[in-house]
Structure 1
Amino acid sequence: MPDKEDLCVSDYSVSEDEDVARKFLMHFDAAVLDETKESDFKGITEEATFFGSHSLDKKVLRKLDMYVLPFLCCTYLLMFLDKALLNYAASMGIKNHLEGDDFSNLGTIFSASYIFAEPIAVYLLQRFPVSRVLGSFIICWGIVVVCHCVCKSYASLMIVRVLLGVFESCSAVGCITVNGMYYTKSEQTQRIGYWAAQAGTGYIIGGLMSFGFLHYHGAEFTSWQIMFLVVGLITVAFGFVTLFFLPNNIPHAWFLDEQEKIQVIEHIRSNQTGLETKKIKMYQVKELLLHDKLTWPMLLLTGCSQISTGSIGTFSTTITATFGFDRYETALLQLPIGCVTIMIILITTQLIGRYSHLTLITTSMFIPAIIGCIVMIALPLSNRIGNLLSLYLLYSGSCTITNIYIWNTCNTSGYTKRLARNGLTMIVYNIACIVGPQMFRAYSYPRYIPAKIALLVTQCVCVPLQLYIGYISFNENRSRDKEQEESQVKPEQYKFLDKTDIENRTFRYVY
Structure 2
Amino acid sequence: MSIDLEKKSESAFDSHSLEGATTKEEDTYDAAFHFVKQNHLDTLELSQQDSAKVVRKVDFHILPLLCGIYFLQFLDKSLLNYAAAMGIKKNLVGNEFANLSTIFYAAYIFGEPIVAYCLQRFPLSKILGLFIVCWGIVVACHAACDTYASLMVVRTLLGLFESSSAVGLIFISGMFYTKPQQAARMGIWSVMAGTATIVGGLLSFGFQHVRTERFLSWQILFLFMGIITSLFGVFVSFYLPDNVTSARFLDHDEKLIILENVRSNQTGTKSKKFKKSQIKELLFHDKLTWPFFLLTITSQIVTGAIGTFSVTITLSFGFDSYESALLQLPVGALIIIIILAATQLVARYGHITYFMASMFVPTIVGCIVLLSTNLTSQRVGNLLAMYLLYSGSSCITLIYTWISANTAGTSKKLFRSVMTMIAFSVACIIGPQLFQAYSAPGYRPAKITLLVTQIACIPISFWVGYICKKENEKRDSEPKSDAPENYEFLDLTDIQNRNFRYTY
Deviation for aligned residue 1:176: 0.6
Q: What is the identity, as a one-letter code, of the residue corresponding to 2:184?
A: Q
**Structure 1 CA distance for aligned equivalents of residues 488 and 78 of structure 2:** 43
Deviation for aligned residue 1:414: 0.7
Deviations 1:141-169 (A, max 9, x none): 00000000111111110110000000001
**Structure 2 CA distance for aligned equivalents of residues 129 and 348 of structure 1:** 33
Say whether residues 1:231 and 2:225 are aligned partners: yes
**Residue 278 of structure 1 is aligned with which of 272, 275, 290?**
272
Question: 2:139: which partner in 1?
Answer: 145
**3-state SS in 1 of match to 2:209:** coil
Question: 2:76: which partner in 1?
Answer: 82
Question: 1:500: which partner in 2?
Answer: 493
Say whether residues 1:130 and 2:115 are aligned partners: no
Deviation for aligned residue 1:57: 2.6
**Residue 321 of structure 1 is aligned with which of 307, 315, 326?**
315
Question: 2:418: which partner in 1?
Answer: 423
**Structure 2 CA distance for aligned equivalents of residues 177 and 491 of structure 1:** 25
Deviations 1:184-205 (A, max 9, x none): 0000110000000100001000
Question: 2:10: which partner in 1?
Answer: none
Question: 2:468: which partner in 1?
Answer: 473
Question: 1:47: which partner in 2?
Answer: none
Which 5+ residue runs of structure 1 have no aligned equivalent?
1-11, 38-51
Are the equivalent residues in 2 in contact too, given 1:311–1:437 (CA < 8 A)? yes
**3-state SS in 1 of match to 2:489:** coil
Q: What is the identity, as a one-letter code, of the residue corresponding to 2:105?
A: S
Question: 2:89: which partner in 1?
Answer: 95
Deviation for aligned residue 1:436: 0.6
Say whether residues 1:460 and 2:469 are aligned partners: no
Deviation for aligned residue 1:479: 1.5
Question: 1:42: which partner in 2?
Answer: none
Are the equivalent residues in 2 in contact too, given 1:55–1:267 (CA < 8 A)? no
Question: 1:403: which partner in 2?
Answer: 398
Deviations 1:366-412 (A, max 9, x none): 00000100110111102101110110000000001101100111000
Question: 1:7: which partner in 2?
Answer: none
**Residue 58 of structure 1 is aligned with which of 52, 66, 70?**
52
Are the equivalent residues in 2 in contact too, given 1:54–1:266 (CA < 8 A)? no
Say whether residues 1:213 and 2:207 are aligned partners: yes
Question: 2:34: which partner in 1?
Answer: 23
Question: 2:248: which partner in 1?
Answer: 254
Are the equivalent residues in 1 in contact too, given 2:125–2:237 (CA < 8 A)? yes
**Structure 1 CA distance for aligned equivalents of residues 195 and 204 of structure 2:** 14
Are the equivalent residues in 1 in contact too, given 2:37–2:486 (CA < 8 A)? no
**3-state SS in 2 of match to 1:268:** helix
Deviations 1:439-461 (A, max 9, x none): 10000000000000000011011
Question: 1:447: which partner in 2?
Answer: 442
Against the structure 1 CA distance between its residues 480 and 36, is the aligned structure 2 distance closer, same or farther, given a 3 Å change threshold? farther
Against the structure 1 CA distance between its residues 196 and 14, is the aligned structure 2 distance closer, same or farther, given a 3 Å change threshold? farther
Are the equivalent residues in 2 in contact too, given 1:269–1:494 (CA < 8 A)? no
Are the equivalent residues in 2 in contact too, given 1:270–1:494 (CA < 8 A)? no
**If the length of structure 2 is used for normalisation, what is the TM-score?**
0.93
**3-state SS in 1 of match to 2:442:** coil
Are the equivalent residues in 2 in contact too, given 1:56–1:264 (CA < 8 A)? no
Deviation for aligned residue 1:475: 1.1
Are the equivalent residues in 1 in contact too, given 2:51–2:258 (CA < 8 A)? no
**If the length of structure 1 is used for normalisation, what is the TM-score?**
0.91
Say whether residues 1:32 and 2:41 are aligned partners: yes
Q: What is the identity, as a one-letter code, of the residue corresponding to 1:338?
A: G
**Structure 1 CA distance for aligned equivalents of residues 47 and 148 of structure 2:** 56
Deviation for aligned residue 1:267: 1.0
Which 5+ residue runs of structure 2 have no aligned equivalent?
1-22
Deviations 1:232-281 (A, max 9, x none): 11101100000011011111100011111111101110000001000111
Are the equivalent residues in 2 in contact too, given 1:114–1:169 (CA < 8 A)? yes
Q: Kindly, what percent of the aligned residue pairs are identical?
A: 56
Q: CA RMSD in A?
A: 1.9
Deviation for aligned residue 1:60: 1.1
Are the equivalent residues in 1 in contact too, given 2:33–2:486 (CA < 8 A)? no
Are the equivalent residues in 2 in contact too, given 1:14–1:20 (CA < 8 A)? no
Deviations 1:406-445 (A, max 9, x none): 0111000111100010001101110111111011000000
**Structure 2 CA distance for aligned equivalents of residues 488 and 407 of structure 1:** 26
Say whether residues 1:298 and 2:317 are aligned partners: no
Q: What is the identity, as a one-letter code, of the residue corresponding to 2:475?
A: R
Deviation for aligned residue 1:215: 1.0
Deviations 1:52-99 (A, max 9, x none): 997753321111001000110000000000000000000000001211
Are the equivalent residues in 1 in contact too, given 2:407–2:413 (CA < 8 A)? yes
Deviations 1:5-49 (A, max 9, x none): xxxxxxx9996412111111123x1x336x799xxxxxxxxxxxx
**Structure 1 CA distance for aligned equivalents of residues 480 and 442 of structure 2:** 62
Deviations 1:92-138 (A, max 9, x none): 00001211111000000000011111110011001001101100000
**Structure 2 CA distance for aligned equivalents of residues 280 and 489 of structure 1:** 27
Question: 2:502: which partner in 1?
Answer: 509
**Structure 2 CA distance for aligned equivalents of residues 59 and 344 of structure 1:** 28
Are the equivalent residues in 1 in contact too, given 2:364–2:454 (CA < 8 A)? yes
**Residue 176 of structure 2 is aligned with which of 158, 176, 182?**
182
Q: What is the identity, as a one-letter code, of the residue corresponding to 1:366?
A: F
Against the structure 1 CA distance between its residues 490 and 224, is the aligned structure 2 distance closer, same or farther, given a 3 Å change threshold? closer
Are the equivalent residues in 1 in contact too, given 2:120–2:272 (CA < 8 A)? yes
Against the structure 1 CA distance between its residues 109 and 240, is the aligned structure 2 distance closer, same or farther, given a 3 Å change threshold? same
Are the equivalent residues in 2 in contact too, given 1:117–1:169 (CA < 8 A)? yes
Are the equivalent residues in 2 in contact too, given 1:407–1:510 (CA < 8 A)? yes
Question: 1:41: which partner in 2?
Answer: none
Against the structure 1 CA distance between its residues 388 and 215, is the aligned structure 2 distance closer, same or farther, given a 3 Å change threshold? same
Count of residues paired in the alignment: 481
Q: What is the identity, as a one-letter code, of the residue corresponding to 1:508?
A: R
**Structure 2 CA distance for aligned equivalents of residues 313 and 366 of structure 1:** 17
**3-state SS in 2 of match to 1:120:** helix
Question: 2:11: which partner in 1?
Answer: none
Against the structure 1 CA distance between its residues 217 and 490, is the aligned structure 2 distance closer, same or farther, given a 3 Å change threshold? closer
